[in-house]
């Protein structure tokens, strides 16, 4: 093929990528990331113009008990992809996460900031970034946050379900970040991959998240407002909602480099939310 090869078919971003022309999305049966060698072989077999890795182990809490498996999927597989891409001279776009940072402070994280992941998921995604870099090929690592869409499991769908069943919810208010529509991430990945084909000097690490930054509690209120759900929101600190994996409090991402290099403006998540609710038949 001469188009873009995508790892992933059922995830939020992969589902959106499948709608783009000239993309081929591989299912787990066609390329299982728990078998890194099979991923490299798929790239060589298809000989695409570029590769986007939209598949990952994303069960943040479960990763605490399954770090070895998460590392195979999130680090070893992208590394194998990157070496195959480097051999073929084609670009790889690897999706990463705000979880590579410890969430300290309040300033947006710059792409060159020193990572310090709090848990297994963040550690394995950071290892994946480094494996991609070590291959030495043309690549873009795209860190994003708080992915939402009408597909799969995500915060929007959880709030719709719980909001209709309860009069009020307690929602964490001291974690701040940018909800990011999966459709916008998919478009950004395609833009980056296509650009790197002709401008390999633009390789590097980039950030991309929705605007404006908001807390989970603030996000929930907007979901209820747009969907016409009369559910109150009581703000609580993260400390009152313990989870197996620690969450970064500050997930703000500085996305200025993505805009200056690739022309990618931060998407307005409120408009993206409206689109998602329409697709779900909520409004």
Contact of 209 with 177, CB cutoff 8 Å: yes
When pLDDT is averaged across residues 154-181 and rounded to a whole number, the result is 98
Which of the four pLDDT bands, split at 50, 70 and 90, describes residue 35?
Answer: very high
Could you please report the per-residue DSSP string of 62-85? GGGT-HHHHHIIIIIHHHHHHHHH
Q: Which residues are catalytic?
A: 121
Q: What is the pLDDT of residue 264?
A: 98
Rounded Cα gap, residues 8 and 109, in angstroms: 27
**Which helix H or strand E contains 220, and what residues bound it?**
helix 216-227
Task: Calculate the average pLDDT of the chain.
Answer: 97
Which of the four pLDDT bands, split at 50, 70 and 90, describes residue 1?
Answer: low
What pTM did the predictor assign? 0.97
The DSSP bridge pattern shows strands 50-53 and 139-144 to be: unpaired
When pLDDT is averaged across residues 14-29 and rounded to a whole number, the result is 95
Fold annotation for 4-154+179-209+253-268: Rossmann fold (3.40.50)
Max CA-CA distance within the chain? 57
Whether 96 shows a pLDDT value over 90: the answer reads: yes
Nearest to 178 by CA among 255, 270, 252, 95: 252
When pLDDT is averaged across residues 153-179 and rounded to a whole number, the result is 97
Residues 267-277 pLDDT 10s: 999 999 999 99
When pLDDT is averaged across residues 141-160 and rounded to a whole number, the result is 97
């Amino acid at each position: 093929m001469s188009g873009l090869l995508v790892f992933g078919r059922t995830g939020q971003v992969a589902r959106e990528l499948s709608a783009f022309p000239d993309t081929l999305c591989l299912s787990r049966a066609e390329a299982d990331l728990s078998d890194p060698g099979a991923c490299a072989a798929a790239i060589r077999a298809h000989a695409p113009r570029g590769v986007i890795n939209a598949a990952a182990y994303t069960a943040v809490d479960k990763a605490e008990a399954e770090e070895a498996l998460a590392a195979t999927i999130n680090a070893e597989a992208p590394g194998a992809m990157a070496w195959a891409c480097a051999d073929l001279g084609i670009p790889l776009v690897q999706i990463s996460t705000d979880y590579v940072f410890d969430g300290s402070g309040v300033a947006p994280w710059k792409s060159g900031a020193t990572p310090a992941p709090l848990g297994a998921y963040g550690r394995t995604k950071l290892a994946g970034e480094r494996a991609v870099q070590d291959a030495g090929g043309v690549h873009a690592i795209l860190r994003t946050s708080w992915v939402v869409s009408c597909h799969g499991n995500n915060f929007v769908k959880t709030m719709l379900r719980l909001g209709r069943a309860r009069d009020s919810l307690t929602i964490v208010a001291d974690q701040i970040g940018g909800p990011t529509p999966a459709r916008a991430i998919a478009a950004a990945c395609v833009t980056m991959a296509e650009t790197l084909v002709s401008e390999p000097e633009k390789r590097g690490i980039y950030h991309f998240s929705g605007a404006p930054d908001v807390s989970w509690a603030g996000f929930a209120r907007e979901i209820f407002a747009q969907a016409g759900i009369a559910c109150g929101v009581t703000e609580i600190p993260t400390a009152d909602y313990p989870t197996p994996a620690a969450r970064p409090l500050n997930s703000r991402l500085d996305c200025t480099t993505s805009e200056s290099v690739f022309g990618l403006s931060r998407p307005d998540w409120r408009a993206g939310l409206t689109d998602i609710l329409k697709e779900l038949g909520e409004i």
